[in-house]
């Protein structure tokens, strides 16, 4: 079967079913509340309940209790590793076709339940209905793409020839054993993709979900078990990263770690996980994503592309534009148009149909926004800069005018804060981008193909776009745009949703038979 992106909203609009989309989403907004205010166990072969709990509260109002989750103990974590290790070979021995079929079945289950999952995300991490559905769609895409990629490559096994007469040799890619997945809050699809990669090729996976989307992650693990993944091979452990995560990634029984999150945590995991022996460490550590706007741009296209990239989901994306380098010849015109466009983006309850962005993820992010804004001179704030006085964790979209502060220009903020900076030339802009420690995503707005080619040929960035109005540095699609970080943004040099991704979780074995 050929791969096709799920793209629920776009396809329903094309079928004149936009009203049906909204009807189904709003029905499930009511339906998913039945899952709230319950206690959810860890899933370690069977259900495990711990003495200490974690309470997950919705950012929509800062008080609705989504659920009560377990603070995993060291003993539970170590038992999970033991179970996962003892059972991974049995999972691998089912064969690549059987594992791929289970993942295709799981993708169909998730497709059937996508309105429920997306409605749940609106409560859990505050996404509007379009972004929430797009997030679940991407999760479906990951499972389908990796299943088809595994089938296409015949489980990554191939004959390698005859070195000596009477010998037949082949290369077989085999799983390492056990992978720990430490997932972020901002994308359910990242959680699904990170778990799917090592699992589908035959490893066991222990999922430590973000404490900000534990329920959707729990329901994903349940769905995978329903689809046929053994409970001994996909384990769910909630808890704090500092306690649970470190216990697991330093455990000698864990062979690899897949992490998405901040640079500081990613580098800590990368270093500490290797202390006893070499381990696979696939880390995506964010970015300081920059869009360049030249004087040869279509300015309206550039304004929209920068604003949507900066303020979509409150800038809480690894790919969000947080710095725009604008040719000095159109700087004043551009910033006026950008402020006008951005001021019309609606910040409100994400359950409402017309909302562009909802709350930031939690109280910590809310207070971080205030601390940052206290350091900014008032005359540098072109738009926003304030918390919104209402229940929940809402802040204003904020645009800053040429704040020459490295803490603004070079540090990932993960908030709806966009810094503008005038630049003399495209060459200067690319040099500024390349001087960054990060290299995740970026973009250019120019109608001059020579300028575009110069940017593409010289930018040290893993994912780059030209003239993308829907989001100048955001919105990579599985299968078409592998999502890969360079420099401090990532360690593997291989992108999610690409044909290289799965081999990171396999090790090669050369097998020779003498006839």
Assigned token pair, 185: 């809050």
Contact 420, 303 (CB under 8 A): no
Query: Which CA distances in Å does 431 have to 10, 428, 453?
Result: 37, 5, 15
For residue 387, give the DSSP letter: B
Catalytic residues: 284, 318
Query: Residues 260-264: contacts with CB within 8 Å, 24+ apart?
Result: 260/182, 260/183, 260/184, 260/190, 260/194, 260/284, 260/285, 260/318, 261/182, 261/184, 261/285, 261/286, 262/286, 262/412, 263/412, 263/437, 263/438, 263/488
Cα 358 to chain centroid, rounded = 18
Strand order in the sheet with 178-182: 46-48, 42-44, 234-236, 204-208, 178-182, 256-260, 280-284
Q: How many CB atoms lie within 10 A of CB 163?
A: 9
Q: What is the H or E stretch that residue 410 is in? A: none
Parallel, antiparallel or unpaired: strands 65-70 and 53-57: antiparallel
Q: Which residue, 60, 64, 400, 47, is CA-closest to 221?
A: 47
Parallel, antiparallel or unpaired: strands 167-175 and 178-182: unpaired
In whole angstroms, give the CA distance from residue 71 to residue 63: 20
Query: Torsion-angle region of residue 225: left (phi > 0), alpha (psi -120 to 50) or beta?
Result: alpha
Q: Helix-strand-coil percent breakdown of the chain, rounded to 5?
A: 40, 20, 35
Half-sphere exposure of 400 (CA within 13 A, CB side): 26
Half-sphere exposure of 104 (CA within 13 A, CB side): 15
């Amino acid at each position: 079967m050929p791969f096709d992106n799920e793209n629920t909203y776009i396809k329903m609009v094309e079928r004149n079913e936009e009203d049906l989309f909204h009807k189904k989403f709003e029905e499930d907004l009511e339906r998913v509340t039945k899952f709230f205010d319950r206690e959810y166990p860890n899933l370690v072969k069977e259900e495990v309940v711990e003495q200490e709990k974690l309470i997950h509260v919705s950012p929509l109002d800062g008080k609705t209790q989504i659920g009560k989750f377990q603070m995993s103990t060291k003993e539970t974590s170590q038992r999970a590793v033991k179970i996962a290790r003892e059972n991974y070979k049995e999972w691998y021995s089912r064969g690549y076709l059987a594992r791929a079929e289970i993942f295709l079945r799981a993708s169909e289950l998730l497709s059937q339940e996508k309105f429920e999952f997306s409605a749940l995300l609106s409560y859990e991490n505050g996404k509007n209905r379009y972004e929430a559905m797009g997030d679940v769609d991407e999760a479906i895409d990951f499972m389908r793409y990796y299943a088809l990629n595994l089938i296409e490559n015949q489980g990554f096994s191939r004959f390698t020839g005859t070195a000596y007469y009477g010998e037949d040799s082949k290369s077989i890619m085999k799983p390492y054993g056990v992978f720990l997945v430490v997932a972020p809050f901002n994308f359910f699809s990242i959680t699904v993709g990170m778990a799917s990669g090592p699992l589908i090729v035959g490893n066991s996976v222990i999922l430590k979900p973000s404490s900000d989307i534990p329920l959707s992650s729990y329901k994903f693990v349940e769905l995978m078990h329903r689809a046929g993944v053994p409970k001994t091979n996909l384990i769910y452990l909630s808890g704090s990263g500092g306690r649970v995560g470190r216990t697991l990634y330093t455990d000698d029984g864990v062979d690899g770690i897949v992490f998405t999150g901040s640079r500081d945590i990613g580098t800590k995991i990368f270093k500490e996980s290797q202390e006893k022996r070499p381990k696979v460490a696939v880390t995506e550590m964010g970015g300081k994503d920059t869009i360049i706007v030249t004087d040869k741009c279509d300015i309206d296209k550039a304004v929209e592309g920068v604003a949507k990239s900066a303020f979509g989901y409150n800038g809480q994306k690894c790919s969000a534009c947080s710095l725009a380098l604008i040719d000095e010849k159109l700087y004043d015109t551009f910033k006026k148009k950008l402020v006008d466009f951005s001021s019309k983006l609606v910040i409100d309850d994400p359950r409402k149909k017309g909302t562009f962005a909802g709350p930031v993820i939690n109280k910590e992010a809310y207070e971080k926004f205030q601390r940052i804004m206290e350091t900014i001179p008032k005359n540098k704030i072109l738009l926003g800069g304030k918390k919104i006085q209402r229940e929940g964790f809402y802040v204003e979209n904020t645009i800053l005018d040429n704040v020459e502060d490295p803490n603004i220009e070079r540090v990932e903020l993960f908030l709806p804060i966009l810094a503008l900076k005038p630049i003399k030339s495209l060459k200067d802009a690319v040099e500024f981008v390349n001087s960054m420690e990060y290299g995740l995503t970026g973009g250019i707005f120019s109608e001059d193909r020579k300028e575009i080619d110069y940017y593409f040929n010289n930018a040290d960035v893993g994912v780059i776009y030209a003239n993308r109005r829907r989001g100048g540095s955001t919105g990579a699609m599985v299968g078409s745009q592998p999502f890969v970080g360079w420099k401090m943004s990532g360690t593997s040099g291989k992108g999610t949703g690409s044909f290289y991704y799965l081999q990171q979780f396999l090790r090669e074995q050369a097998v020779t038979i003498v006839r």
